Structures are given as structure tokens and as C-alpha cells.
Chains A and B, each alone.
Chain A
Amino acid sequence: MALSGMRGLSVFISEIRNCQNKEQERLRVDKELGNIRTRFKNEKGLTPYEKKKYVWKMLYIFMLGYDVDFGHMEAVSLISAPKYPEKQVGYLVTSCLLNENHDFLRLAINTVRNDIIGRNETFQCLALTLVGNIGGREFAESLAPDVQKLLISSSCRPLVKKKAALCLLRLVRKNPDVVNVDGWSDRMAQLLDERNVGVLTSSMSLFVSLVSNNHEAYWSCLPKCVKVLERLARNQDVPQEYTYYGIPSPWLQVKTLRALQYFPTIEDPNTRRALFEVLQRVLMGTDVVKNVNKNNASHAVLFEALALVMHLDAEKEMMSQCVALLGKFIAVREPNIRYLGLENMTRMLMVTDVQDIIKRHQAQIITSLKDPDISIRRRALDLLYAMCDTSNAKDIVEELLQYLGTAEFAMREELALKAAILAEKFAPDLSWYVDVILQLIDKAGDFVSDDIWFRVVQFVTNNEDLQPYAALKAREYLDKPAIHETMMKVSAYLLGEYSHLLARRPGCSPKEIFGIIHEKLPTVSTPTISILLSTYAKILMHSQPPDPELQNQIWAIFSKYETSIDAEIQQRAVEYFTLSKKGAALMDILAEMPKFPERESSLIKKAEDTEADTAELSAIKSRAQQQASNALVVTGQQPTNEPLQVTQLGMVKIPSINMENNHVDQEVAQTNGITGDVEPQNADILGDLLSPLAIEGPPGVSGTETLSEDGALALAPVGEQENAIKPIVDIVERFHALCVNDSGVLYEDPYVQIGIKAEWRGHQGRLVLFLGNKTTSSLDAVQAVILPPSHMKLELSSVPEIIPPRSQVQCPLEVVNLRPSRDVAVLDFSYKFGTNLVDNKLRIPAVLNKFFQPITLSAEEFFPQWRSLAAPPLKLQEVVRGVRPMSLGEMANLLNSLRLIVSPGLDPNANNLVASTTFYSESTRSMLCLVRIETDPADRTQLRMTVASGDPTLTLELKEFIKEQLISIPTASKPPVPQQPQPTTQPISSSDPGALLAGLL
């Protein structure tokens, strides 16, 4: 048996292996960890050999999945051991156990530097490896000059050189400024003259990273890259050890081909000719061979060459060669090659007009949609989506629908969205579109976002010819024994509006329609019941002459729901009941909905950004989710989502009244006369009927992505967009919305959209910036630089300099909150479109409240804490004036949306609010924060605020933060909110512990 060379370690591993079950293993590990702890405590008795052995054991235990935090220090301290064996273990284990964010690593920075600049080559290698693998920003700033010196030193062995190149690459990724471009481009060119293939491979990786940030500085390197390719392609001067199954280093070839893709074009005719010769050779000379490794390696080069050809948009002849190759690949059995064929064909569609050639392969691609491997299916779906146009939409969408029935859950949502988008975009006729959407809802109702069914209703409302057909279809679906709730909503809506058009058909009399809908009522949820009530009112209105039996039935239902616990339902029931007794007046009030103003589909609008980045499936998915959530926010129909909606709209918690007013304002304004003759007192009803369809909400209401975008877009004069590139969203408003949401659009102008998605855990956060190019040409000189405030560590992964047409790149941004502070990080984002340089400084919504974890405290928990934090600087009080007037309910919602959780009833005075949260930062760890706000019912513009926490800075910052939120007006103006009944707070009672609170304050 192979043994480790360290007896104690081997024995331990054997014992672990002999454990019969997880429990035994845990016991054995615990025993060992106990032993290691004690041994390290009495360090004096420990020989270097033992130290080394224990640190290895810890790594082994870590690999088993156990926590070895306590040993980090031991591993780090071995780095400064004088002798190689211990030092090696220290370096290696440290780089496995720690990451760049660990504080311990700072302790080692000096030793590491000394090893790098020292004369011991082995130590140099160890240090470079550690920095290359886990070096962070701090390392970048203090070590970059030394590493650069090593890299260009002539006395340095290849062994050290290649490590230095990759080490520098890491440092550049952490901070691009550590390389001074001016001086470095010549050096880089020299490095590319290197003969040693190992060093050249490492240098090429470094080069790719540098050139992706700024190709302008490296034009002189371009011919060198072509030389490298020529050397490899002709197999000149490539040592045997660097050929892999007969292919001269496929990896270096791939890297070099990749580097060339960062240059927009190749001007010099000689270089261009030389490169195309190489590319031609690769394209033509790659044969399928039996040996799988050789085959993979040669095709790795081939696919990279294809990508370069596409990038350079080569002559037609070469492009058609590529398409022919791809056509061959998507038909092969070998799954990897087929996968890559599909993937690259999708890319091909983005850069050049090859739709017609690719269409010839449609049947083949559809076969891949049914492949057992999900990876292949996803690629096939992307390609079908990309290649769809009016000529093949019917076939493709039908395939997608068919597949929807059998697809796994992971893909259904995306499939549904894509099918809906394609159906809308390329529908040969509208009745087909209606068929598709209804089928979609029928087959995958759970995965159809509200946006999708709203859209079909819009279409039907706006196209009279379509109405009888849609109603008939809806009626047919109702015959099915079990139907999805979304189908119920859309059918009920359509039948309410248009079933009278079917009246002469069998089974379509008002009575029968009512019967079949009402049958389903017991199975649907509350929001759907409201839609059904509207439908009943409409059916009643359409049954002329009135059918007394039907009338009584429906009246009975209305009166039953007059006492519903749900405010929305109750209101509808009451109003419809009263209205329906008005006879003829009903006709006007419940008349058919007016046409919707024509506008771009929110689905398609989003899809347009999505289209290009088919490779980046996750982005599509996250956007699809975003979409779904938008829909919920906009409608405000689902009670489960209501708190979200309320916080976002900053409104009081009784949605119907408020929402209606807004809708009415909106609708009256938009339809411009169509509904203008509606009497004001009926306005509420109209709004009520509208609300399930409130796809486009009032422009004044912020926080809902689609709304604000649409609104802003409509307002921006077209002419202006051409002259200067201006954002088409309200940046300030977007920032504020994102302060309380974790995903949405941060910035958008006619060319670029920046989306953000964030996840927060304790004092850390992970944001992903989605940089999307909306145009059909590429965006150049893209730069994104983070200007971090001092209390935060931010790390943005490298941003490509060019965003290809209609595609999107994702840039993860890691955030670590060091201290409490209200300062905000700024993203300096710039790009070039044509001759315009666009530069924007955008605040990043990594604000104080993102590091809150909601916590709800009981009176028993709250008061001792409140008491113990007795006086300044831990507890601060301030009278705040100029508060933006809001009801107590709104204020509570505002606090809740900031994750400051209000505990109702804790304060005896109904005009006061008490809230709590936990704040996380590296310096404070988790820290409880308590807030009390006393308002003055007579003057809503002033209040007294008391904030307490265990950290003076935190208290101060939190107080100021809340103040800002209360004073500033992040949203656009809202219609005046009618005085709302105060949310019910607990009545004061003498036994209420809140009385105690009052006493303490």
C-alpha cells in the first residue's frame, strides 16, 4: 500500500478509513482534533516534524468536511519556519485552508515578501504559489513590483518565471492598477518572445488578462501572438514534451487564439494574412480521429479558431466553412462535440447573418432538444430560440410546447418564457398566439408568470376579431376536469368580457358560462375569487333580458362575500351587489374594457437583452425569475406578496383604495377620452376591474422595475437620445429601489443596461453586475472601476473591455463590510459607443441596511437590552424635523423594508414605533440594534428618534441613516394619499409591558 512517508499520518488515515460509519469517524476526528489542540498549546515540546504532521492531519480532517478554524494560526506560523519541509507545509496548507479575506494572512505578508525577494529559489516558488493562489488586494499592492521584477529578470530560471507570471496575473485581477501599462506593454511583448513553452503558456494567460482590460496598449503584442501560433501550427521548435498526442501544446494554442479575440480587428495585412493561413489550416486540417484525447485536443483548438474567425467576421467563404463545420458537428453522436456545435452555432447567429443556412439543420437541432442529457437540451433550446423567426416560429414553438410536457422542472420556467416570447414576436396570426399561450398555461401553469397571461388579455382586448375566438377557447378549457389556477383567471376574465359574443353556441348561455365557472370557485385562491366576482358582475350585465334565476344566484354570492375577510373581495362584493341593482346604469359602468395603449411587450423588452447571451443561461434564468417577481409586484394581487408590494410602493397596507386611485388617474390620462366620460363616482369600480390587469402601473409609483423603465422610456424625447447618451431610467430612484430590493436594474441608457443581483450573508455580500449591450454592435472600452469607501472591501472580478453585440456579461462583486458606515461605494462605469464616451458614476446599493438581519424581540428580550444601553454614545436621541409626512403604517413599512423589524404593541403609545435588527460587520461582528420613534399625531413632519446599540459608531451611523430615510424622498411624487385608518395597534393597557418602556425612556 502506498504510504504517506509520515507514519503518524498514515496510521490516522487508516483508522479513519476503518471507521464503520459517520459517527465513528466523527468520534475519531474529535479525538484527533483534541489531541492536536493540546499539542499545539504546549508548543515547546513540539518538534518541527510533529508540527508538520499535525498540520497535514488538519488538512486531511478539513477535507473530510470538519471545521479546523483553530488550526489556521498554526498553518500560517509554519510559513516562517526556517527549513524547507516545514515551510512547504505551512505555505501549502495555508493556501488550502484560508482565503484572501482572512486576517491571519496579513500576518504572513512580510515573510512572504522576504521569501519572494530572497535568494532561495525554492522559497521563492513557495511564496509565489501562495500569492498566486490566494493573494488578495493587499498582497497586490505590496508585492506587485517585486513580482514584476522577478518576471523580467534575466537571471531567473523558467521555473520561477512561470510562477511569477501567473502570480502577477492574480495580482492584476485583484487590482488592475498594479501594472503600469505604459512601461509594461514592451515588457509583455518581450515575454511573448519566450522560447520555453511552459513560461510562454503562463505569460500568455497573463497577457489575456491584461489585454482584456485594455487592448489599446498592447497592439505591439499582436504580431507576436500570430508568430506563436505559426510556430505551433507548423510544429517548429516545439519540444516533444510539449506536444500532447501529437498536437503542439493545444492549451497554448487555445490561449493565444483567445488573446487575439480581444483585439477588435487586425489591420496589418501581413499579420492578417499569416493569421488566416493558420486559421485556415486549423479549420481544414482537423480530422476526427479514434483517440479521444487527441480528438478533444484538436477540437479544442478548432473551436477556439472558430470563435476567432467569428470575431474577426472573416470573408464570406471562411464563414460558410465554419457554418458547414458546425452543421456537421451538431449531427455527430459524440456528445461533447455536438454540445459545442450547438453552442457555437448560437454564437454564430449573433455575429452574422447565417439564419438561412442554420435553418437547414432545424430538424437535427430539434432532435437534440429531446436528448437525454440536460446539458445538450439546454444548448438546443438556446439555439432554437435564437434561430426562430416568422418562417419557422410555428414549428419551433410547437416543439417547445410538446417538450414542455416532459421537461424537468429545472427547465420549465425558461421554456415557458421562451415559448411565450417567440409566440408573441413571430406569431403568423393572433389566434395562433392565443392558442399557444393557453396551451402554455394548460401544460405548465406553475411556470407561467403573470406577465404572460396579462399580455394575452391585452392582445385580445385590443383586437376585436380575436375576441370571440379567445372566448371560445377559454370556454373549451373550462370543460377540462382539472385546470390550473392561472387558466381559471384568464378564462374567467375573457369570458366575463366576451362570452356574450358566443351566446348562440351550445353551452355558452350566460347561465351555463356562470355555472361552469362557479363550479370551480371552491378550488381557487383568494385573488382569483376577486376576478371571478368581476366576471359574475359582467355576466349579469350581459344577460339581457335579465334572467331572474341567474340574478338571484349571483346576488346570493355577492352577499355571501360581503362579509369576506379579504378586503379586496369584500369590497368587490359590496360594490357589485349595489351596482347590479341599478339596472341600466350597470351597462355603462361595466362596459367592455377600453383598448390598452399600444406599447412594447415587457416580455419582449426583457427578452431582447436576454437574446444574445444564450451561453449565459443562468442570466436568463435569473432574469426570468426577476420577471416573475416583477409581475407579482405590479399586480399586487397575491396576498403572499403583499408585504413586498407594500414596502416597495411605500404605501399603506390597504391596497385596494390606494391602488384604485392610481389606476384611475393613470387610465383616464392614458386612454385619453375613451374613459373620459366615466363619471367620477364610478371611477373606483373601473379601477377595480382594471386592477387585475394593471400591467402598467402609475408612473409615479416607484420600486417596480418594469413600471419605471416603461414610464421613463415613454417620457424621454426620441431626438434627445440620439444626441447625448442619457440614462433612460431615473438613476436616483433606481438606487433607492435597490436599497430595499436585491435585484433589479441599476442603470439603463439606450445602449447599455446594468442589472444587479445581490445576496447578503452577515457582513458579506455577493453582487453580480449584469452588463448588457442592447445594441447590434459591440461596446468598446468598457470599464468598471469600484471606488470603495473605507469601511468596505469590494472586489470586482475583471470586466471585459468589449461587450459583444446583444450580449450580456456578468461580473461578480464581493463585498465585505468592515465597519458600520453610511458611506456608499461608487461604480465608475464607462464605455464607448461610436465616438461617444459615456461615463457614469453609479452608487452601489451596498448600503448599511443590507447588513441587517431581521430579528423580532419579545418584551422580555427587548427591555433588558434597552436598559443596559443607557446613555450616549451607545444610545442617542434626536428630534428630527422636516420628516416627509407619512402615516404610522407607512413608516412601519419603511422600517420593515430596511429590515428594521417593527414590534407592534411593544410601545404603549400607539403613535410610537419600536424596531430592532442585528447588524453585521467585521469589526462589530453581530450587534443588536434597537430603535424607537415617537411621532406627533398633530405634526407628522417631526418626530423624536432614539437609537441604541453596543457600538458607538454604529449607533451614530444608524441614527443618521434612519434620519436620511425619513427625510429624503426617494420616490417620485405620489398622488396624495387619503387619510388612512391607522393600523391597529394594541390598545393601551396598564399590564402592557410597553408602559415600562415609556418609563425607561
Chain B
Amino acid sequence: MIRFILLQNRQGKTRLAKYYIPLEESEKHKVEYEVHRLVVNRDPKFTNFVEFRTHKVIYRRYAGLFFSLCVDITDNELAYLECIHLFVEILDHFFSNVCELDLVFNFHKVYLILDEFILAGELQETSKRAIIERMGELEKQE
């Protein structure tokens, strides 16, 4: 299962952090710091997988943003790697040509999209269309 999801820029600023395991606030900040340090200096030619404590982080970089998923050691790496890409495609679709600033100013929307995409640390919906439509429904209610 996904233990947490982080979106961080190269400077280590957190743009989104979602935890599916119980962590204290201080521990969350520590995890964010450590994961950033772990992925930021890796060569683009390296694997997208790196061990983190007793788990592993599957990460992918888009422009200046790192998307990192912490998953169990036995989980399927490539499936989660493409899960990141699907999420990025959804964001791209929703914000039409997404950039970091979209995610900064609309962080609350990003959380909403994520909640339609992943729940309880597992994939909930893999249809881009279904999620975009759902977001439309929700925006109408606001």
C-alpha cells in the first residue's frame, strides 16, 4: 500500500503531502525532509526506486517537481511509477497544462483530486475521465 505521497519542488518545499499511516506532525516534517534529500540529487539516469527506511520510495521528476510515493517493499514498483504519471496526466488535464504555480495556488484542489484518485493508500479510480467529471460535479456544489 501507499504509505504517503509527497509533491516537493527542488528546494524541498512541500506542495502536497498525504499520509495514509498515522504519523505525528513532527515526524511528517522529518519524513518530508529526508525524502527530499534522498531523491533530489539522484541522477536522471538512475532507477526511479530508492530504499527509504524499511520501505521504498518510487519517485519521478516532472520539471522542478518531485512526485514521491512511499510503498511497501513487496509492492510492484512499475505499477506505482505509472500511477504517478497517471496522476500527473489528470492534473495536467484539470489545470490544462499544469505548472507548479497551479499546484501552489490551488493546493486544495490538488488534495481533492487526490482523494478521488487514491484512498486508503490504494488506487481508487484509474479513469481520467471519471475523475475530471467528478471534479466538475463537486465544483458545481461549491
User: What is the bound-complex CA distance between A136 and B21, given in angstroms?
Assistant: 10
User: What is the bound-complex CA distance between A167 and B73, given in angstroms?
Assistant: 23
| Contact, CB under 8 Å: B106 / A2 | yes
| Contact, CB under 8 Å: A1 / B25 | no
User: What is the bound-complex CA distance between A628 and B129, given in angstroms?
Assistant: 55
| Contact, CB under 8 Å: B123 / A251 | yes
Residue in A84, A296, A374 whose CB lies within 8 Å of B141: A84
User: What is the bound-complex CA distance between A925 and B21, given in angstroms?
Assistant: 23
- Chain B residues near A169 (CB, 8 Å)? 120, 122
| Contact, CB under 8 Å: A136 / B105 | no
User: What is the bound-complex CA distance between A367 and B85, given in angstroms?
Assistant: 30
Residue in A1, A69, A197 whose CB lies within 8 Å of B126: A197
Residue in B50, B83, B104, B130 whose CB lies within 8 Å of A17: B104
- Chain B residues near A159 (CB, 8 Å)? 134
| Contact, CB under 8 Å: A251 / B104 | no
| Most chain A beta carbons < 10 A, residue from B99, B112, B124 | B124
- Residue A896 is within 8 A (CB to CB) of chain B in the complex: no
Residue in B20, B45, B54 whose CB lies within 8 Å of A133: B20
- Residue A175 is within 8 A (CB to CB) of chain B in the complex: no
| Contact, CB under 8 Å: B125 / A198 | yes
- Chain B residues near A13 (CB, 8 Å)? 104-105
User: What is the bound-complex CA distance between A239 and B130, given in angstroms?
Assistant: 12
| Contact, CB under 8 Å: B82 / A297 | yes
- Chain B residues near A166 (CB, 8 Å)? 119-120, 122, 124
- Chain B residues near A92 (CB, 8 Å)? 108, 111-112, 115
- Chain B residues near A67 (CB, 8 Å)? 25
Chain B residues 92-142 with CB under 8 Å of chain A are: 95, 99, 101-102, 104-108, 111-112, 115, 119-120, 122-130, 134, 138, 141-142
- Residue A706 is within 8 A (CB to CB) of chain B in the complex: no
| Contact, CB under 8 Å: B142 / A85 | yes
| Contact, CB under 8 Å: B106 / A4 | yes
- Residue A466 is within 8 A (CB to CB) of chain B in the complex: no
Chain A residue with minimal CB distance to B141?
Answer: A84
Q: How many A residues face the partner with a CB closer than 8 A?
A: 85
User: What is the bound-complex CA distance between A1 and B99, given in angstroms?
Assistant: 10
- Chain B residues near A96 (CB, 8 Å)? 17-18, 111
Residue in B24, B101, B127 whose CB lies within 8 Å of A99: B24
Given the interface pairs A3-B105, A60-B107, the reply to whether A258 lies near B124 with Cβ below 8 Å is no
- Residue B40 is within 8 A (CB to CB) of chain A in the complex: no
| Contact, CB under 8 Å: B78 / A100 | no
| Contact, CB under 8 Å: A99 / B22 | yes
Q: In the assembled complex, how far is the CB of residue B119 from the closest CB belonging to chain A, in whole angstroms?
A: 4
Q: In the assembled complex, how far is the CB of residue B118 from the closest CB belonging to chain A, in whole angstroms?
A: 9
| Contact, CB under 8 Å: A241 / B128 | yes
User: What is the bound-complex CA distance between A1000 and B89, given in angstroms?
Assistant: 73
User: What is the bound-complex CA distance between A571 and B131, given in angstroms?
Assistant: 78
Given the interface pairs A63-B15, A339-B47, the reply to whether A133 lies near B120 with Cβ below 8 Å is yes
User: What is the bound-complex CA distance between A64 and B104, given in angstroms?
Assistant: 11
Chain A residues 100-127 with CB under 8 Å of chain B are: 100-101, 122
- Chain B residues near A619 (CB, 8 Å)? 54
| Contact, CB under 8 Å: A2 / B120 | no
Residue in B29, B78, B107, B127 whose CB lies within 8 Å of A297: B78
- Chain B residues near A764 (CB, 8 Å)? 24
Given the interface pairs A63-B17, A251-B123, A300-B79, the reply to whether A618 lies near B53 with Cβ below 8 Å is yes
| Contact, CB under 8 Å: A372 / B43 | yes
| Contact, CB under 8 Å: A251 / B126 | yes
User: What is the bound-complex CA distance between A632 and B60, given in angstroms?
Assistant: 42
26 A–B contacts, CB within 8 A, in A order: A2-B105, A5-B106, A10-B105, A63-B14, A64-B13, A88-B112, A88-B138, A99-B19, A99-B21, A132-B119, A159-B134, A169-B120, A244-B126, A293-B85, A296-B85, A297-B78, A300-B77, A300-B79, A303-B76, A338-B47, A339-B47, A373-B47, A375-B46, A618-B53, A618-B73, A768-B54
A residues touching B (Cβ–Cβ < 8 Å)? Answer: 1-5, 10, 13, 17, 56, 59-60, 62-65, 67, 69, 84-85, 88-89, 92, 96-97, 99-101, 122, 128-129, 132-134, 136, 159, 162-163, 166-167, 169-170, 173, 197-198, 201-202, 205, 239, 241-242, 244, 249-252, 254, 258, 293, 296-297, 299-300, 303-304, 335-336, 338-340, 372-376, 378, 615-619, 764, 768, 810, 812, 814
The 6 closest A-B CB pairs, nearest first, are A300-B78, A99-B22, A373-B46, A205-B122, A241-B127, A300-B79
